[in-house]
Amino acid sequence: MLDSLRRRPRLAFALLAVLLAALPFIMGFGLGNSWVRVLDFVLLYVLLAIGLNIVVGYAGLLDLGYIAFYALGAYVYAWLASPHFGLHLPFWAVLPIGAAVAGLFGVLLGAPTLRLRGDYLAIVTLGFGEIIRIFMNNLNAPFNLTNGPQGMNLIDPVSVAGLSFGKSLHLFGMKLPPTYLYYYLFLAFTLLAILVAFRLQDSRIGRAWAAIREDEVAAAAMGINTRNMKLLAFAMGATFGGLAGGLFAAFQGFISPESFTLWESILVLCMIVLGGMGNIPGVILGAVLLTMIPEALRYIGDLQRATLGHIVVDPSDLRMLLFGVALVAMMLFRPAGLLPSRQRKREFAAEDGVAEQEQASLYDAKA
Partner 1 sequence: MSVLLSVDQVTKRFGGLAALEDVSLTVEAGEIYGLIGPNGAGKTTLFNCMTGLYTVTSGAVRLAGAEVQALKPHQIVKRGFARTFQNIRLFANMSALENVMVGRHPRTHATVLGAVLRCRKTRAEEAGIREHAHELLRYVGLGGKSRGLASHLSYGDQRRLEIARALATEPKLLALDEPVAGMNPNERQQMGELFRKLREGGVTLLLIEHDVKLVMGLCDRVAVLDYGRKIAEGPAEEVRRDPAVIAAYLGGEA
Report d(CA 101, CA 104) in Å as an integer: 5
- Under the criterion CB under 8 A, does residue 211 sit at the interface with partner 1? yes
Report d(CA 96, CA 161) in Å as an integer: 18
- Sole window of 1-9, 209-217, 266-274, 316-324 interacting with partner 1 (rule: CB under 8 A): 209-217
Question: What track of x and - describes contact with partner 1 for positions 318 through 357 (by CB under 8 A)?
Answer: -------------------------x--xx--x----x--
Report whether 280 contacts 50 (CB < 8 A). Answer: yes
Quick one: which of 55, 102, 224, 288 contacts partner 1 (CB under 8 A)? 224
- Under the criterion CB under 8 A, does residue 210 sit at the interface with partner 1? yes
- Under the criterion CB under 8 A, does residue 261 sit at the interface with partner 1? no
- Nearest 5°: the CA angle 268, 273, 279 is 100
- Under the criterion CB under 8 A, does residue 200 sit at the interface with partner 1? yes
Report whether 69 contacts 133 (CB < 8 A). Answer: no
Q: How far is the CB of 275 from partner 1 (least distance, A)?
A: 19
Quick one: which of 94, 102, 122, 220 contacts partner 1 (CB under 8 A)? 220
- Sole window of 79-87, 132-140, 217-225, 316-324 interacting with partner 1 (rule: CB under 8 A): 217-225
Q: How far is the CB of 202 from partner 1 (least distance, A)?
A: 8
- Under the criterion CB under 8 A, does residue 236 sit at the interface with partner 1? yes
Q: How far is the CB of 350 from partner 1 (least distance, A)?
A: 7
DSSP structure class, residue 313: S
Quick one: which of 150, 203, 316, 357 contacts partner 1 (CB under 8 A)? 203
Number of residues that bind partner 1 (CB under 8 A): 37
CA-CA-CA-CA torsion sign (299, 151, 48, 250)? positive
Q: How far is the CB of 130 from partner 1 (least distance, A)?
A: 29
Report d(CA 205, CA 156) in Å as an integer: 37
- Under the criterion CB under 8 A, does residue 232 sit at the interface with partner 1? yes
Q: How far is the CB of 227 from partner 1 (least distance, A)?
A: 8
- Under the criterion CB under 8 A, does residue 223 sit at the interface with partner 1? yes
- Under the criterion CB under 8 A, does residue 217 sit at the interface with partner 1? yes
Report d(CA 192, CA 151) in Å as an integer: 30
Q: What are phi and psi of 264, to 5 degrees?
A: -65, -40
Report whether 121 contacts 63 (CB < 8 A). Answer: yes
Strand extents, DSSP E, the chain: 81-82, 87-88, 159-160, 163-164, 169-171, 174-176
Report whether 128 contacts 109 (CB < 8 A). Answer: yes
Whose CA is closest to 248, among 87, 95, 19?
Answer: 95
Q: How far is the CB of 276 from partner 1 (least distance, A)?
A: 14
Which positions lie near partner 1, rule CB under 8 A? 195-196, 199-200, 203-208, 210-211, 214-215, 217-226, 232, 236, 343, 346-347, 350, 355, 358, 362-366
